[in-house]
Amino acid sequence: MTSSALNTDGPIYRRLAEQLRAAIETGEFAADGPLPAERDLALRYQVSRDTVRKSLKLLETIGVVYGDHGRGTFVSPPAVQQMSRFIDGFSVDTSKRGETAGQTVLSVEQIPASIAIAGVLEIEPKRLITKVVRIRTVDDRPVGLQEAYLNLPQNSSFTLSELAEVGSLYKLLRARFNISLAEALESLGAIAAGPEDASHLNVEQGSPLLLCERVTLSDRRQPIEYCVMRYVSTYRYTTRINQFSQLTK
């Protein structure tokens, strides 16, 4: 590895990926232009070609570059680079569009799980879970009303002010309960705004809202969070797809 030291921890291929992404962002490698050949990168950074390939593979999965057999590896168009979706999506998505994401935590409370939510979280009904209600804002305008139900370790919870301070629910889970989230399953649809939505989101009853349900799983695929979100019709949920249904291309 050359100097320019930003991160000294983690595996080499990850650090190299960061360096390459930084080089792309600073324009060292032109948008939509080719990167140096893998063998050249290996020489330049003094690592094996396989390590270079791991870096490029990582960058490809997050939409920063793409490889084309026999031609080279290319920087993805800006539109593609902005469309990757992540578990902690809301703040990141919004800030990538040059807007400011915010939130107002309305309540944090412990309640017994309903049958429906117990089913989703794979726990027995009436077990105590933590319910969080938040309003999501973009540039200080309310865009979404969000209810999250968390299955935390028994007899543990957190307060409204703790969450408001840390800002991110996921950071709080990791720092406070050593829970790391690995995967999320989302389901999107459209519904008409009810009275509560109307007052919180400042829209008329019956107007169309984007409904998003999510189940978030830990690294061992235990359901940790069930979350229902309703967004105003000006909000856009964006995602990038780069997979095929068939194992056989």
Q: Which of 68, 124, 140, 165 binds its own copies (CB under 8 A)?
A: 68
* CB 223, CB 122: distance < 8 Å: yes
DSSP letter for 82, please.
Answer: T
Interaction residues for its own copies, span 175-234 (CB under 8 A): 182-192, 206-211, 215, 217, 219-221, 231, 233-234
Q: Which of 20, 24, 47, 229 binds DNA (CB under 7 A)?
A: 47
Interface pattern 121-160 for its own copies (x via CB under 8 A): ----------------------------------------
Nearest to 214 by CA among 94, 85, 84, 79: 85
Residue count of the chain, please give it.
Answer: 249
Indicate which of DNA, its own copies, none lies near residue 25 (CB less than 5 to 8 Å, by partner kind). none
Q: Which of 83, 128, 172, 228 binds its own copies (CB under 8 A)?
A: 83
Q: Which of 20, 24, 35, 224 binds DNA (CB under 7 A)?
A: 35
Instruction: Give Cα 41 distance to the centre of its chain.
Output: 30
Indicate which of DNA, its own copies, none lies near residue 123 (CB less than 5 to 8 Å, by partner kind). none
Nearer residue to its own copies within complex by CB, 63 or 132 = 63
* CB 136, CB 90: distance < 8 Å: yes
User: Concatenated DSSP letters for 38-67?
Assistant: HHHHHHHHTS-HHHHHHHHHHHHHTTSEEE
